[in-house]
Amino acid sequence: MSESKLAGQFFDAAIGLLQRVRDEEAANVADAGAAIADTVAAGGRLFAFGAGHSSLAAQDVVYRAGGFALMNLLAVPGVVGVDVMPATLGSALERVEGLAGAVLDSSPARSGDVLVIISLSGRNALPVEMAMNARALGLKVIGVTSMAYAEETKSRHVSGTFLKDHCDIVLDSKIAVGDAELTHEGIEAPFAPASTVVTSALMQATMAAAAEQLVERGIEPPLLRSGNVDGGHDWNGRVMTEYRDRIFFRH
């Protein structure tokens, strides 16, 4: 079978976006990495949150080989992914005001911790209030979003603000409104979203920057190894024991 033209176009689009965020967001990624390193060095904890498909990038840095053992998923029941039935309920919950405050109040997050909030549009009540409440509690907030939505859409929060307005550091994914990179004759809707690829890359780049900052300070980054390599389980057991008071996915 010959090569797919559309498949190649998607790879080109994704690579182009990755090059843009690498070049245009370099300083913000370094700042986010430094904020995470500061928190790790000071004995703080790390949390990541995303709703719907934005949760995939949050999950990608939690409890995985090559990742920080201290990164915890701040989960909101019903909005983490498409495992809830009906799937449309998750989208509806993102618009419920007051939910973020209830989640944070019952979570282990406290002043001095870092919370990474991932929301492609940044316009729904949940990520906006999550950022507002987290900062009020004294957390440092890193937002990963597409600034295009703030420029081309209206906020769904009563304040009229977006996620970007309530963050200490913002990483712009550069994803166009609609999150679909391709169009084609005979196909009525645009297709091939790239937000997961780009946002996950931003998250991993940020964690790499954090590791770089820590080692420059003489601190071993609290990394996990693959359980599928020899010695991996022993390594992870040591790390989880050393940092057990800052890891919540094992309780």
11-57 tens-digit pLDDT: 999 999 999 999 999 999 999 999 999 999 999 999 999 998 999 99
Question: How many angstroms separate the CA atoms of 55 and 116, rounded?
Answer: 11
Burial class (CB in 10 A: 0-12, 13-18, 19+), 86: exposed
Question: How many angstroms separate the CA atoms of 55 and 74, rounded?
Answer: 10
Confidence (pTM) = 0.94
| 99-142 tens-digit pLDDT | 888 899 899 999 999 999 999 999 999 999 999 999 999 999 99
**Alpha-carbon distances, residue 221 vs 36, 43, 141, 185, 234 (angstroms):** 11, 12, 21, 50, 17
Q: For residue 139, give both structure tokens.
A: 């957390």
